[in-house]
Structure 1
Amino acid sequence: MKLAGRIALGLLAVLLVLVAVVLVRTFTYKAPPGLDASGVKVAPPVAVDLDRAARNLSAAIQIPTVRHQDRAQDQLAEWDRLHGFLQTTYPAAHAAMGREVIDAQTLIYTWKGADPALPPIILMAHQDTVPVTPGTEGAWKHPPFSGAIADGAVWGRGSIDDKGSLIGLFEAIETLAARGFSPRRTVILVLGGDEEVLGSGAQAAARLLKSRGVMAEFVLDEGLVVLKDNPITGGKLAVIGTAEKGYATLKVTANATGGHSSAPPKDSGGVAILAKAVTAIVDDQFPLAFRGPGAEMLKAVAPSAGFPVKMAVANEWLFRPLLVSQVGATPPGAALLHTTIAPTMLKGSPKENVLPQDATAWINYRIAPGDTPDSVMARARSAVGDLPVTLAWNGRPAAPSAVSSTNSRGWRALAATAGAVSGAPVAPSLVTAATDSRWLQPVARDVYRFQPVELALSDVQLIHGTNEHLTLPNLEKMVQFYARLIATAAS
């Protein structure tokens, strides 16, 4: 046989072996170990007074605890009103728990367990909301702070983010306490007063708990939800955040001489230099990488996905470039796989015919696990090269969180309860926004981020958006979830 023929046969044999390996790995692929929480006995459902819960969420929305970037605009009396409302509305919960008010109107409640040797669990929500964009009030179906109960939902700013969780927690604890439930494991609530402006209250809570020697079994805060139409299988998926991205804003400044715009310098001044610097930074994107919690979500869901997805994930060694390109084809998908770069604010001259003496841009980064503020700064400095600009952090950057376990007792209790209440498979993933829970890492073994709210992908825009509302079925799921989680994890 000629050499060419032997080579062709050899290549065919290699190809057949490769196909066989791919098929065997595909048909035998299972989700990573530790994700199955089927052995956990979840506490039974409780009787939820949905009318009461809706009225109470409505009342909480009507107390506008709005945090502004300029803290001088905050109406702190509204937090006092909300605190008084909670005390009056939930007598059994307040009889069962001790209450403390700390920095930034943050609340800490402690429901002491019968066995102080057991690590506590920490459940979180926040009291504050973002403002309504001026001029958009008329676009709301119901006024944004009306708390209207209509069309099968409670309407208003904060209904999902995050007074739904706040009221869901209190409704759950009121229900459990009123029927005589007593936890074996201590339950701590940390209810941030200023989450929407980066959480000094949660930081203070973490310092206080650390000073008391608290090391919790787990922390649960807002973050991810039950997707009705997850893009992998098209069906429901309860997605629990096991990590969240870091947060940093880079301030880029181009200093210039200034002067009259009728005689601009040869380089066109600070604005032109700044534009070149911003463009250089944005054009030097962080590479997409199939790793971390974003990749773990796909690995968890792949066994129930279509054959092409299952084959690609089962044979990641071969199809990694394809996985990266497919997941990264949309902005939300890409955000799971790398550190993102988003220019958000600009400042130049105060007048159209005046050259600015300095031009400034602010670039917001959401830092993926594996990167650090230092590596982000180094990449930006490399991108601008010798352009005459200065780079500095606007405030203190926050590194990405640690990745929490999917094998721990906390994960198993949480995943089992989420699956029981939602009727959906459960998967870990990465939270691309920022939550108060990142500050609690020093006082917990694991930190998770999840609300039992069923949303379509198109509904996510309601959070911080116009016509924010929480459906009554979702409110009922909130109460059931928190009650059953406490009864499962703390009994």
Structure 2
Amino acid sequence: MTLREGRPPHACTHAGTHDRAVEKLQALVRIPTVSDRDPALVDTAAFDQFLEELARQFPVLHERLQLTRVDTHGLLFHWRGASNARPVVLMAHLDVVPVEGTWRHPAFSGAIVDGVIWGRGTLDDKGSLVAICEAVESLLERDVVPAQDVWLSFGCNEEVSGSAAVLAVEELRRRDVRPWFVLDEGGAVASEAFPGVTAPIGVIGLTEKGVTSLELRVEGRGGHASTPSRMGPTARLARAIVRLDRSPMAPRTPPPTIELFRRMAPHGPLPLRPVFANAARLKPLLTRALLAAGPEPAAMTRTTFAVTTLSGSPALNVIAATAKAGVNIRIMVGDTVSDVLDHVRSVVADDEVHLDVVEQNEPSPVSPMDDAFELLEATIGEVFPEAVPSPYVMMAATDSRFFTEICERVYRFAPFRMTKAQREAIHSFDEHLGVDAFLDGVRWYELLIERLPR
């Protein structure tokens, strides 16, 4: 393994520490903890192996922190601090999505090539999990006692909206734990976040979109493919999909997005700097700019609909008796599940297309930008001085949405530098994390814990 030269002065310099932390991530990435909505399809042996390897790699953490098992393989660690007045929860998850596509390096190899760790889970979310554990292990070895109680909540079925996070919240509620703040995956030190913006943006999610999944279903007689009738189930379903694709919900620009662009203004394209700086006053213009800037910026402005699954006839010469399309919806702050259902019914405009709700979640409450946010901001500023810390609305879903029931300050930030290509690799192929970026993430968590106020 060769680390790149020119590491920033705040980073660790002990080669043994480098090797130890990176090798731990490699070992855990190699274990294929793929989750599935069908428990029968989950390789429980892989999850068992992961927990055994985690205990082997972090012996001090397992020895000195109180552990409660949650759900099948979820973990809830309690690290007693000098005070329990303002406890903190640090979150991650150990499950990953299935491997798809052609990878440059095997998806579960944990290979290091040119200073980059390759593998499923490096970004989502074993990188954060190992960085948290390594930071805690290092602090424990130095006999550091945090100013406040620290809880580590590691879910085992986040990728399938499983029950581990819900059960962790129930356990904390049972113990009367009301966190000062909760920090989960989500944002990052994102370069190429917006066309023409020169500085990386340290985006901290104050909220996240609601996740709702629908199934559009059309029933029919079916029959022999030699005698098709007009507007059979598949044709009617296709028309519904096209109508939905052509009729998005109205865009909106919530306060976290306004503040994001205000902070980005000095680093944006010259023609757009006045628009960014006056985002609150020029919301319509900003919204149009985001819609035109590509899928990632556009998703910041509206509820999105993605048709993700399709099913029809079981054979080429059989007309489908039932045709289905799965639609994954990310609901923007300000919209509701009810708004979405009304929109879909209105746009599809066909009583023969049935709407079956598979899951529904409202957008999360918006967390405040108070002293807890400022602590995250300051820690980003120290470890990533080149970055512009900023709030934003997270487009994806995390386990942390369930923690809003017991905490008003729920934030989403993974302390890793990520390029646009890296962000696109999440849930896709060629997921990877730079060695230096990972080590700086470890340092970020260490500083955060060390700076918890008394």
Q: TM-score over 0.5 for the alignment?
A: yes
Residue of structure 2 in register with 1:131 after alignment = 98
Shift of 1:490: 5.5
Say whether 1:140 aligns with 2:69. Answer: no
Deviations, residues 170-212 of structure 1 (Å, cap 9, x unaligned): 1101111111101121000000011111131111111111222
Say whether 1:343 aligns with 2:290. Answer: no
Whichever residue aligns with residue 125 of structure 1, its letter is: A
Structure 1 counterpart of 2:45, from 63, 67, 77: 77
Shift of 1:469: 2.0
In 2: Cα distance, 1:315 partner to 1:421 partner: 29
SS of structure 2 residue aligned to 1:344: strand
Change (3 A) 1:490 1:198: farther
Shift of 1:240: 0.9
Greater mean deviation of Cα atoms: 69-78 or 188-197: 69-78
Structure 2 counterpart of 1:211, from 164, 171, 174: 174
Whichever residue aligns with residue 422 of structure 1, its letter is: F
Residue of structure 2 in register with 1:411 after alignment = 373
SS of structure 2 residue aligned to 1:434: coil
Consecutive unaligned residues in structure 2, runs of 5 or more: 1-9
**Equivalent residues of 1:192, 1:202 under 8 A apart:** yes
Structure 2 counterpart of 1:103, from 59, 62, 71: 71
Residue of structure 2 in register with 1:237 after alignment = 201
1:113-132 counterparts in 2 under 5 A?
113-116=81-84, 118-132=85-99
SS of structure 2 residue aligned to 1:132: coil
SS of structure 2 residue aligned to 1:146: coil
Greater mean deviation of Cα atoms: 325-334 or 465-474: 465-474
Structure 1 counterpart of 2:164, from 201, 220, 243: 201
The RMSD of aligned alpha carbons is 1.9
Shift of 1:392: 1.7
Residue of structure 2 in register with 1:28 after alignment = none
Say whether 1:257 aligns with 2:221. Answer: yes
Q: How many residues align?
A: 440
Whichever residue aligns with residue 187 of structure 2, its letter is: L
Residue of structure 2 in register with 1:64 after alignment = 32
Greater mean deviation of Cα atoms: 164-173 or 273-282: 273-282
SS of structure 2 residue aligned to 1:341: strand
Whichever residue aligns with residue 215 of structure 2, its letter is: K
Structure holding more helix per residue:
1
Whichever residue aligns with residue 311 of structure 1, its letter is: P
Q: Which has the larger radius of gyration?
A: 1
Greater mean deviation of Cα atoms: 74-83 or 310-319: 310-319
Structure 1 counterpart of 2:327, from 357, 360, 363: 363
SS of structure 1 residue aligned to 2:193: coil
SS of structure 1 residue aligned to 2:323: strand
1:436-447 counterparts in 2 under 5 A?
436-447=399-410
1:79-94 counterparts in 2 under 5 A?
79-94=47-62
Change (3 A) 1:399 1:104: farther
**Equivalent residues of 1:112, 1:183 under 8 A apart:** yes
In 1: Cα distance, 2:287 partner to 2:430 partner: 34
Say whether 1:192 aligns with 2:160. Answer: no
1:265-344 counterparts in 2 under 5 A?
265=229, 267-316=230-279, 319-329=282-292, 330-344=294-308
Deviations, residues 65-118 of structure 1 (Å, cap 9, x unaligned): 1113433221112222222222222222223311111103100000012222x1
Whichever residue aligns with residue 49 of structure 2, its letter is: R
Say whether 1:376 aligns with 2:340. Answer: yes
Shift of 1:290: 2.3
Residue of structure 2 in register with 1:7 after alignment = none
Deviations, residues 326-363 of structure 1 (Å, cap 9, x unaligned): 11111111100100011111111112222222211111
SS of structure 1 residue aligned to 2:165: helix
**Equivalent residues of 2:147, 2:452 under 8 A apart:** no
In 1: Cα distance, 2:98 partner to 2:237 partner: 31
Shift of 1:386: 4.1
Consecutive unaligned residues in structure 1, runs of 5 or more: 1-43
SS of structure 2 residue aligned to 1:252: strand
Shift of 1:141: 3.0
Shift of 1:262: 2.3
**Equivalent residues of 1:183, 1:490 under 8 A apart:** no
**Equivalent residues of 2:217, 2:355 under 8 A apart:** yes
Residue of structure 1 in register with 2:7 after alignment = none
In 2: Cα distance, 1:47 partner to 1:213 partner: 41
Change (3 A) 1:315 1:173: closer
What is the TM-score when the length of structure 1 is the normalising length?
Answer: 0.85
Whichever residue aligns with residue 99 of structure 1, its letter is: L
Residue of structure 2 in register with 1:168 after alignment = 131
Greater mean deviation of Cα atoms: 315-324 or 251-260: 315-324
In 2: Cα distance, 1:122 partner to 1:490 partner: 15
SS of structure 1 residue aligned to 2:83: coil
In 2: Cα distance, 1:409 partner to 1:290 partner: 25
Whichever residue aligns with residue 325 of structure 1, its letter is: R
Greater mean deviation of Cα atoms: 145-154 or 325-334: 145-154
**Equivalent residues of 2:31, 2:49 under 8 A apart:** yes
In 2: Cα distance, 1:380 partner to 1:226 partner: 35
Shift of 1:378: 0.9
**Equivalent residues of 1:210, 1:442 under 8 A apart:** no
In 1: Cα distance, 2:186 partner to 2:225 partner: 48
In 2: Cα distance, 1:471 partner to 1:353 partner: 50
Whichever residue aligns with residue 413 of structure 1, its letter is: L
SS of structure 1 residue aligned to 2:383: helix
Change (3 A) 1:281 1:150: closer
Change (3 A) 1:386 1:229: closer
In 1: Cα distance, 2:109 partner to 2:269 partner: 45
